[in-house]
Structure 1
Amino acid sequence: MLEKCFKLKEHNTTVKKEVLAGLTTFLTMAYILAVNPNILEASGMNRNAIFLATAIASAIATFIMAFLANYPIGLSAGLGLNAYFAYTVCLGELANEPDPWRIALTAVFVEGIIFIILSFFKFREQIINSIPQNLKFGISAGIGLFIAFIGMQNSEIIVASESTKVELGSFSNLNMTLALIGLIIIAVLVHYNVTGGVLIGILVTWIIGIILQLCGVYTSANLLPDFSQGLQLGAISQTAFKLNFGWAASHIVSFLAITFSFLYVDLFDTVGTVVGVADKAGLLDKDGNLPRVGKVFFADAVGTTCGSLLGTSTVTSFVESSAGVAAGGRTGLTAFTTGLMFLVSIVLSPLFLAIPSFATAPALIYVGMLMLMSITKVKFDGDIADSVGAYLAVVMMPLAYSIATGIMFAVLAWVILKVVCGKVKEISPIMWIVFALFALRIVALVTNFG
């Protein structure tokens, strides 16, 4: 049965190898179960509900990846996308609305449905295969910087400053010190090829904080897990099926603008992340394209839709899946094992929910480094359009605090420079469409409809 489903012999692998690879992938990406509640809680959502929604949606999307695409890729709530959901939309555009997260979830649901439809027309597949390789690598690196910046902010390594906008935090702040210690721990564990090094680093950093709390040194918050209330599986009712279509109907222009924003972020963030995953896992073909990429997008589209109904932000492929590939994973059986582990993790919810930001921040910073590595593949000494486009993708994402904005500047600059330099024939029809969409996005922003 497993051979028929996953074609193990064709991929020169075994059940044992695939299962171990799936466990490896889960261990390397399980930190999202602690990180996502920390980020989305800022939008006013219940932590327990976020955890449950994340675990269930991750399992559903990863199962679809396993059986439909037959790729060893795990999916969960995307870093960068959850930050956009919480900080840009809920705390920004919808800050004055009651329960802004309900409106945001509605927008995520609508754009998820749209992407399911687009998956049948292979629109996203055409986009990812049409984006120049230099831009792909720049996008991946830019997302890495953006994620690292979020981690440094959450742990107060980087803080706001009136004079310089941002500055280094204080070493007297235990959150900052513990986060830096955690980063070193993760780096050492990875150096020695310890399976699940990122997750272990998070747990060790958290334990150090608990010891300091018991000694009376750390007093900022209670770091001990609370098992007295049980698993609280009913908590998911606080976010599940809480979509606010009433607000959407009465504020149609504003809602469409928010949905449009999510479309952009999800579309191009997913493209960047999938490129990063495929690049790390060696799944790209000789032309830089990903076979069966449409099925990969369908998996995250369904995961996103289900996640929004349950109560979490956009679901996407994880770059940490490359760890499972390195362990020998080659088929969907690896992904299936990872999905099962997400369901098993539900019984450990009190543990994951007690993990503080200073312990999860090192994971964000380290994962950011993994994605930033794509910068080494960017060719800055070749075509000026490729060079400038990739450069803008890298710098604009963290500085503008928006993944979509970084990709927008990259694409616009690339097309304009190709035209000015007399290389119009090198611009594919898809890139012209993407260019037009971003141009319309600018018009929307200028006229205050975006």
Structure 2
Amino acid sequence: MLEKMFHLKEHNTNVRTEVLAGVTTFLAMAYILAVNPSILGNVMDANGVFLATAIASAIATTIMALWANYPIALSAGLGLNAYFAFTVCLQELADVENAFEICLTAVLLEGLIFIAISVFKVREQIINGIPHNLKSGISAGIGLFVAFIGLQGAGIVVNSDSTLVDLGDFASPQVALALVGFLIIVILSYYKIPGAVLIGIIGTWILGMIAQTTGWYVVDDAHASLFPDFSQGLVNFAGLKKTAFHFNFGWVSHNVVQFIAIVFSFLFVDLFDTVGTVVGVADKAGLLDKDGKLPRVGKVFMADAVGTTVGACLGTSTITSFVESSAGVAAGGRTGLTALTTAGMFVLSLFLSPIFLAIPGFATAPALIYVGMLMITSVKKIEFDGDVADSAGAYMAILMMPLTYSIANGIMFGIITWVVVKVFEKKAKDISPIMWVIFGLFVLRILTLVTNFR
């Protein structure tokens, strides 16, 4: 049955590998179940957000698994949730009571718009219209971005007022154990041990619990216990009453222009974050065809769109494809069975949340750093000796993703560079209509950013 549903042999994989990959993906992204309630909890009920996040993630990832048959998991997007809470609710709508209801209304409209453009294959045309060199640059850039997330999450890279970033404290257990975890994954991968990434995550967590027991890892206001806490029970669905279907169409009808601006910001970041993530993960998994296109990409985007719509109804910010899916791909995941396993873990998390939430960021960091190493190899596919527009566009995508902490920004700089250089090369005829449209959207985005800064 599973073979018929997911075509495992065709993708040179098996049930054991897919399940391990799905668990690995979940563990790499499980932090969102703690982070999203922490961020959105500033403006709405945290327990309701946790439940909404887990349920919407499970639904969207199940659609991805059963309909698109890709090893891509979805959940509440980082950055979008911060924009939701801190920029819109606490700044732009600071004087509006229950401002989160307006944001949920915007996310709902965003999801419905994405469903519409997915039906008409607009997003599909975007992803298939991006030149092959740029796709390789996007994949490599995401690799650096993912690695940077891991380095930051473990405290290996920290903030510096003078140089922006600096090396973390090697005396801290988080830094030391994360580096040990990375070496565990690399060495196990060298010896082709199945589930190396998952073993690395669990092994680092266990070492962390040992460090807590010995007193090296200290539990305080900034550092939570690494041991699961079941004192608050397993699950309480009452929180959903405070978040589900809390929309405010009355405010929207009287503030249309401001509402459109909010929706556009959600639309822009989600669209191009998803495009970048799908390209990067699919490229690493070898799922792109000989022309660099992704089969069934419309179904991928539909899963994203439906997830966002469901998430808004339940009470969470935009649901989007997660770059941490690359951790599962690195563990061998190639089909929707990987995503289905991840979806099952999200359902399980509703009842065993203390266990999943106890896995710290420094335990999943080694997986992200390792995945970054694998994804950066896509740089080999870039023809730097060919058209300078291709190489310059790919380079800007690689450069700007980690340095601006945004997949969407990396794609923006890459495509704008590619189009402008093509024009000055007198090769404007090589620019497809869809690339002109994307270019125009990015120019509009820059203009809105300039206006906001003023």
For Structure 1 versus Structure 2, the TM-score category normalised by the shorter chain is 0.7 to 0.9
**CA–CA separation in structure 1 for the residues paired with 2:284 and 2:11:** 19
Q: Quick check: 1:316 aligned with 2:314? A: no
Are positions 1:402 and 2:439 aligned together?
Answer: no
Tell me which residue corresponds to 1:348.
Answer: 352
Percent identity of paired positions between Structure 1 and Structure 2: 54
- For the residues of structure 2 that align with 1:154 and 1:72, how far apart are their CA atoms? 27
1:59 equivalent in structure 2: 58
Q: Does 2:85 correspond to 1:90?
A: yes
Deviation at 1:407, TM superposition (A): 1.2
Aligned partner of 1:40 in structure 2 is 36
Between the aligned partners of 2:166 and 2:199, the Cα distance in structure 1 is 29
Q: Deviations over 1:28-48 (max 9, x none)?
A: 201145321343244243665
Change over 3 Å in CA distance of 1:40–1:197 after alignment to 2: farther
Per the alignment, residue 277 of structure 1 pairs with 281
Q: CA deviation at 1:136?
A: 1.0
* AA matched with 1:20: R
Q: How far has the Cα of 1:345 moved from its partner?
A: 4.1
Q: Conserved in 2, the CA contact under 8 Å of 1:388 and 1:413? A: yes
CA-based RMSD: 3.1
1:307 counterpart residue number: 311
Partners of 2:136 and 2:54 lie apart in 1 by: 29
Matched, 1:232 2:235: yes
Counterpart in the other structure of 2:443: 439
Q: Which moved more, 1:107-116 or 1:124-133?
A: 107-116
1:217 corresponding residue in structure 2: 216
Q: Which residue of 1 aligns with 2:176?
A: 177
Task: Provide the C-alpha distance between the structure 2 equivalents of 1:192 and 1:236, rounded to a whole number of angstroms.
Answer: 47
Q: Is the 8 A contact 1:53 1:312 kept in 2?
A: no
The alpha carbon displacement at 1:285 in A equals: 1.6
Rounded to whole Å, the distance in 2 between the matches of 1:141 and 1:13 is: 23
Distance 1:74 1:50, change over 3 A: farther
- 1:115 is displaced (CA, Å) by 0.8
Q: Which runs of 5+ in 1 are unaligned?
A: none
Q: Which whole-Å CA distance do the structure 1 matches of 2:209 and 2:339 have between them?
A: 34
Number of the residue aligned with 2:111: 112
User: Deviations 1:259-292 (Å, cap 9, x if unpaired)?
Assistant: 2222222211211211122222222221111222
CA distance in 2, matches of 1:434, 1:58: 28
Against the structure 1 CA distance between its residues 240 and 133, is the aligned structure 2 distance closer, same or farther, given a 3 Å change threshold?
same
- Alignment size in residue pairs: 439
Normalization by structure 1: what TM-score?
Answer: 0.86
* CA–CA distance in structure 2, aligned partners of residues 191 and 248 of structure 1: 56
Determine the structure 1 residue equivalent to 2:269. 265
Q: 2:387 matched to 1:383?
A: yes
Name the stretch that deviates more: 198-207 or 88-97. 88-97
The answer to whether structure 1 residue 208 and structure 2 residue 207 are counterparts is yes
Q: Which residue is equivalent to 2:22?
A: 26
Alpha-carbon separation, structure 2, partners of 1:259 and 1:441: 13
Structure 1 stretches of 4+ moved >6 Å: none
Unmatched tracts of structure 2, length 5 or more = none
Aligned-partner residue type, residue 119 of structure 2: F
Contact 1:55 1:342 in 2 (8 A): yes
Match 1:76 to one of 74, 77, 90:
74
- d(CA) in 2 for partners of 1:431 and 1:184? 42
Q: Is the 8 A contact 1:146 1:398 kept in 2?
A: yes
**C-alpha distance in 2 between matches for 1:13 and 1:401:** 33
Task: Single out whichever of 42-51 and 204-213 deviates more from structure 2.
Answer: 42-51
* Residues 434 and 162 of structure 1, relative CA distance in 2, 3 Å threshold: same
Counterpart Cα distance in 1 of 2:421 and 2:385: 15
**Secondary structure, aligned partner of 2:326:** coil
The 3 A distance-change label for structure 1 pair 260 and 349 is same
**In the TM superposition, what are the counterparts of 1:240-251 in structure 2 within 5 Å?**
240-243=244-247
Which residue identity does 1:85 align to in structure 2? L
Q: Contact 2:154 / 2:361 at 8 angstroms: preserved in 1?
A: yes
